[in-house]
């Protein structure tokens, strides 16, 4: 096969050595040194799409989106297949990061995804791809946290859980995520959902995160606060029951999302009685499934959050109370 007058051939030993060494350096976080080697590999074999794919990948790791887009476009220009190449997916991520919507649409279509007739509208941003729910791992290189969200397009998720403050993320934020799932969550009803790793924050949320201690006599009292917040257009989440502490291996595997609730303890849950998580429902030695004191996260504006809590208590003052409200993110 001829590409631009050159005969396509297998890469040289020098190319392979430079590339292998570069990816070892990438694994060690030495991006500058890896970049020099991958640039050398591209000089050695400029007719290989892999040369430019590898450079685009490196620039994605570095969040250098202009360079990732440029290298990605060179890679796809040298492809010898029509659809499904990961080169196009990396172009789509770079284009999304840069809000280059025409290129993003072209990339998703070239990869083989169905794109609605005019998904980018007059404002340019993609709409209508209907990709459903997924989980995203926030701050994957730090104190990683997996939360639920809505996929806006193949590279962005809107966060619908209330993240813990350690993640530095808020409810309602949109994060750019990688294309290859790193784990999955299986619901009690059967469907499984991929877990994608966050790359970076794409759009911040103006809504702050609060933590408050609730006295909720029954689960229905807790549920009433979550519904009240939702009806107001914001969110409340009982962190005492929704948070599981998992080791990295467990988090990156196929995990049941509801394990630990009810009578069945999750063997992968590393939380303890008295701390957030499914095991936190239980007091040591009692086996009780419900503790009235709950640690709750609330995503709501400062001018609304106290009134929301007061309204919740007013609806059933004998079974509800709150204290120690604090803005945490």
**Average of pLDDT values for 109-138?**
77
| pLDDT at residue 176 greater than cutoff 50 | yes
pLDDT tens digits, residue range 83-110?
Answer: 788 999 999 999 999 999 999 999 999 9
Residue 61 belongs to what H/E stretch?
helix 49-62
pLDDT at 261: 41
pLDDT higher than 60, residue 253: no
Q: Which pLDDT does position 277 carry in this prediction?
A: 47
Q: Provide the mean pLDDT of the chain.
A: 84
Distance of CA 190 to the CA centre of its chain: 21
pLDDT at 215: 96
Least confident of 6-10, 23-27, 131-135, 210-214: 6-10
Cα gap 280→265, rounded to integer Å:
11
DSSP 168-201: T--TT-EEEE-SS---EEE-TTS-EEEEEEEEEE
Bridge partners of 200, per DSSP, are: 176
pLDDT at 107: 93
Measured CA to CA, the distance from residue 242 to residue 261 in angstroms comes to 9
CATH of 207-252+290-328, one of 2.60.40.10, 3.20.20.30, 3.30.70.120, 1.10.443.10: 3.30.70.120
Give the model's confidence band at 281: pLDDT under 50 very low, under 70 low, under 90 confident, else very high. Answer: very low
pLDDT at 273: 46
Percent of the chain with pLDDT over 90: 63
**Domain 13-111 falls in which CATH fold?**
1.25.40
List the chain domain ranges: 13-111, 133-203, 207-252+290-328
Predicted confidence (pLDDT) per residue in 46-80, tens digit: 999 999 999 999 999 999 999 999 999 999 999 98
> Is there a contact between 303 and 232 (Cβ–Cβ < 8 Å)?
no
Over the Cα atoms of the chain, what is R_g? Answer: 24
Q: Render pLDDT for 192-244 as a digit per residue (tens, 0 to 9).
A: 888 999 999 999 999 999 999 999 999 999 999 999 999 999 999 999 887 76
Q: Give the H/E segment covering residue 299.
A: strand 293-299
8 pLDDT tier (thresholds 50, 70, 90): low
235 and 298 Cβ atoms separated by less than 8 Å: yes
């Amino acid at each position: 096969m001829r590409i631009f007058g050159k005969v396509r051939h297998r890469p040289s030993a020098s190319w392979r050595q430079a590339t292998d060494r570069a990816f070892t350096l990438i694994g060690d976080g030495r991006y500058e040194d890896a970049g020099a080697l991958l640039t050398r590999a591209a000089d050695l074999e400029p007719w290989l799409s892999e040369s430019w794919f590898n450079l685009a990948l490196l620039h994605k790791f570095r969040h250098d989106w202009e360079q990732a887009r440029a290298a990605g476009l060179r890679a796809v220009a040298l492809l010898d297949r029509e659809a499904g190449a990961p080169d196009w997916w990396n172009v789509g991520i770079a284009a999304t990061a840069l809000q280059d919507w025409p290129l993003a649409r072209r990339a998703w279509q070239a990869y083989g995804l169905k794109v609605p007739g005019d998904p980018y509208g007059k404002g340019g941003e993609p709409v209508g791809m209907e990709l459903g729910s997924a989980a995203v791992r926030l701050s994957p290189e730090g104190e990683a946290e997996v939360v639920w969200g809505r996929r806006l397009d193949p590279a962005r998720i809107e966060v619908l859980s209330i993240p813990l403050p350690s993640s530095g993320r808020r409810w309602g934020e949109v994060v750019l995520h990688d294309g290859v799932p790193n784990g999955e969550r299986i619901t009690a009803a059967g469907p499984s959902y991929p877990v994608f790793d966050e790359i970076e924050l794409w759009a911040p949320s103006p809504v702050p995160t609060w933590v408050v201690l609730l006295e909720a006599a029954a689960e229905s009292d807790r549920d009433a606060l979550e519904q009240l917040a939702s009806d107001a257009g914001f969110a409340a989440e009982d962190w005492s029951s929704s948070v599981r502490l998992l080791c990295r291996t467990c988090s990156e595997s196929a995990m049941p999302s509801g394990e630990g609730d009810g009578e069945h303890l999750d063997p992968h849950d590393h939380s303890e009685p008295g701390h957030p998580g499914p095991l936190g429902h239980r007091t040591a030695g009692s086996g009780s499934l419900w503790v009235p004191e709950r640690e709750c996260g609330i995503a709501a504006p400062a001018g609304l959050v106290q009134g929301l809590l007061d309204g919740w208590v007013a609806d059933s003052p004998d079974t509800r109370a709150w204290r120690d409200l604090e803005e945490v993110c």
